[in-house]
Amino acid sequence: MTALPIRVPVRIIGIDPGLRRTGWGVIEAEGNRLIYVACGSVEPPDDLPLASRLLAIHEGLAAILSVHKPMEAAVEQTFINKDGAATLKLGQARGVAMLAPAIFGISVAEYAPNQVKKTVVGAGHADKHQIAMMLKILLPKSDPPSADAADALAIAITHAHHRTSTALRLKVVGL
């Protein structure tokens, strides 16, 4: 009889959707231990029409998913602002960010921006500088090239901390 490992590492991708830059960050979670894998952003050219930008985001995320092979995904919920048209466009980018992992058969969790900040920094209204500082502590080998990549890593960390309660909630709802 062989003993099964107590903790199996889970590879998680966090995605921070945006039309100009969609940040992504991949970590591995083994119990409470977090290991940095990779991060970056998908940046479609600004001069492309909306449909082409959405396609570029999808293709970029699909390539990242193929290379890093995450088991679970987490996406930040849309921040609603006063400009309705901008919010709708961001929602379309978010839809692509949720669709890409779903096509690969990867479950996708969603987290509010304040929940991400509270999980990583301890305060729901933390700024980007505070998130960057905590990333250096939680994932010392990471060096995100942009704020979007840093946010994506923070989303992945949030999922690592809340994934069991999220899975339980989905099981109760029957998804």
- For the chain, where are the E strands, in sequence order? 10-16, 22-30, 33-42, 72-76, 107-111
- Of 14, 4, 2, 7, nearest in space to 152 by CA: 14
Distance (Å, rounded) from C-alpha 127 to C-alpha 82?
20
Catalytic residue (choose from 43, 72, 76, 151): 76
Annotation says 76 is catalytic: yes
Whether the Cβ atoms of residue 130 and residue 121 lie closer than 8 Å to each other: yes
Distance (Å, rounded) from C-alpha 74 to C-alpha 153?
10
Annotation says 46 is catalytic: no
Q: What is the DSSP letter of 131?
A: H
Q: What is the DSSP letter of 119?
A: H
Burial class (CB in 10 A: 0-12, 13-18, 19+), 28: middle
Catalytic residue (choose from 16, 43, 72, 151): 16
Catalytic residue (choose from 43, 72, 148, 151): 148
Distance (Å, rounded) from C-alpha 83 to C-alpha 74?
25
The residues carrying an active-site annotation are: 16, 76, 148
